[in-house]
């Protein structure tokens, strides 16, 4: 078996308070960002009409906005896909007014406003109100059922306190990811929701591996204290964790830089999630169980 570390003795438990501070910092950043900017919902959830176009020559955003003002689409979002002023995503209208005619109107207006340009339509989407509501409901219940299923499995395989700690670590990762997406004004699309569900599974899998080793070491090393068992277990699984993280990280990094526009947000979400998931498995899930056990012991003494 390939190993990065043959034998490590890092004091993860002893440094957990520094990790608590780092976690609190990122949670605070997420709360501030979500309070100020909120989440930017894609057309999948917000509904409306989306058109992605490519100009033959560079065009400024203000020029496109002025051209579209003629057809009075209301508040529209014009986003430059890549630097150079060639590719733009135009989102206009509401879910109630979404129609293919709106997309055709946008393209026709751009062609008449920029007669010297050759305009290529790369993508055209229309999502109505009922469809967007259905997407929201499905995404919500997907997250809820995934969380409940993991709680039941963790409680059955380990103990209830392990299940609660594992779910808290997983929700910690989801919140961190959403906070970063809000901070960078990334759209929450169905692809991003798929990435979030993937992160939930990744985080829980890493946590379960550490929990399994903790349970095994509690039987094998009865003279060790619980903090010592946690440190031993994390150090024993550190090589496996590092190999897994590097494998996944290299893949999503390649997707981020070379995967194109469609997969870009998925890869970005996965990068944040992999880092957060690895951190939470080591510094959130197991330390919460430790704090819980310490609280039970203090309560019993009283």
- Is residue 135 located within the same domain as residue 110? no
| Judgement on whether residues 214 and 271 belong to the same structural domain of the protein | yes
Given pLDDT bands bounded at 50, 70 and 90, which one contains residue 271?
A: very high
* 37/186 same-domain check: yes
Mean predicted confidence (pLDDT) in 267-293: 93
Is the domain of 197 the same as that of 290?
yes
Residue 8 domain flag: no
Q: Are residues 177 and 77 in the same domain?
A: no
CATH of the domain at 118: 3.30.70.3400
With a cut of 90, say whether residue 23 has pLDDT above it: yes
Which of the pair, 173 or 71, is modelled with greater confidence?
173
pLDDT in the model for residue 93: 61
Average pLDDT over residues 265-272: 94
Q: Is the pLDDT of residue 218 over 80?
A: yes
Domain count, the chain: 2
Task: Give the pLDDT band of residue 128 (cuts 50, 70, 90).
Answer: low
CA distances in angstroms from 56 to 62, 81, 88, 89, 169, listed in the order given: 17, 14, 12, 15, 48
Q: Are residues 29 and 70 in the same domain?
A: no
Question: Do 199 and 272 fall within a single domain?
Answer: yes
Higher pLDDT, 133 or 207: 207
Averaged pLDDT, 152-160: 83
Verify that 291 and 149 share a domain, yes or no.
yes
Task: Give the pLDDT confidence score for residue 1 in this predicted structure.
Answer: 45
Distance, CA of 257 to CA of 92 (rounded, Å):
28
Is residue 3 in a domain?
A: no
**CA gap 166, 211 in Å, rounded:** 9
With a pLDDT cut of 70, the percent of the chain lying above it is: 90
Domain end marker among 127, 153, 174: 127
Provide the percentage of residues in the chain whose pLDDT is more than 90: 32
Cβ distance 233 to 210 under 8 Å?
yes
Is 62 within the bounds of a domain?
yes
| Cα first-last separation, the chain | 48
pTM: 0.79
Residues 34 and 89 in one domain: no
Maximum CA pair distance of the chain? 82
Domain that holds residue 113: 48-127
């Amino acid at each position: 078996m390939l190993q990065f570390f043959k034998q490590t003795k890092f004091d993860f438990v002893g440094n957990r308070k520094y990790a608590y501070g780092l976690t609190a910092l990122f949670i605070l950043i997420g709360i501030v960002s979500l309070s100020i900017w909120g989440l930017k919902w894609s057309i999948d959830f917000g509904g409306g009409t989306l058109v992605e176009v490519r100009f033959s020559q560079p065009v400024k955003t203000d020029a496109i906005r002025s051209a579209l003002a003629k057809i009075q689409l209301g508040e529209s979002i014009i986003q430059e896909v890549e630097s150079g002023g060639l590719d733009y995503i135009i989102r206009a209208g509401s879910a109630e007014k979404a129609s293919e005619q709106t997309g055709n109107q946008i393209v026709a207006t751009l062609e008449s406003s920029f007669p010297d340009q050759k305009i290529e339509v790369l993508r055209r989407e229309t999502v109505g109100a009922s469809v967007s509501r259905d997407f929201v409901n499905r995404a919500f219940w997907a997250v809820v059922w995934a969380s409940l299923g993991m709680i039941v499995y963790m409680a059955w395989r380990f103990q209830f306190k392990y299940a609660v700690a594992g779910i808290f670590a997983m929700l910690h990762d989801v919140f961190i990811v959403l906070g970063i997406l809000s901070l960078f004004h990334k759209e929450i699309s169905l692809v991003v929701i798929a990435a979030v569900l993937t992160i939930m599974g990744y985080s829980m899998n890493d946590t379960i591996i550490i929990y399994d080793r903790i349970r095994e070491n509690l039987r094998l090393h009865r003279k060790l204290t619980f903090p010592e068992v946690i440190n031993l277990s994390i150090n024993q699984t550190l090589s496996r964790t590092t190999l897994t993280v590097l494998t996944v990280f290299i893949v999503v990094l390649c997707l981020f830089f070379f995967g194109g526009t469609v997969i870009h947000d998925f890869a970005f979400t996965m990068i944040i999630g992999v880092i957060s998931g690895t951190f939470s498995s080591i510094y959130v899930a197991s330390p919460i169980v430790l704090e819980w056990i310490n609280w039970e012991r203090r309560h019993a003494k009283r």
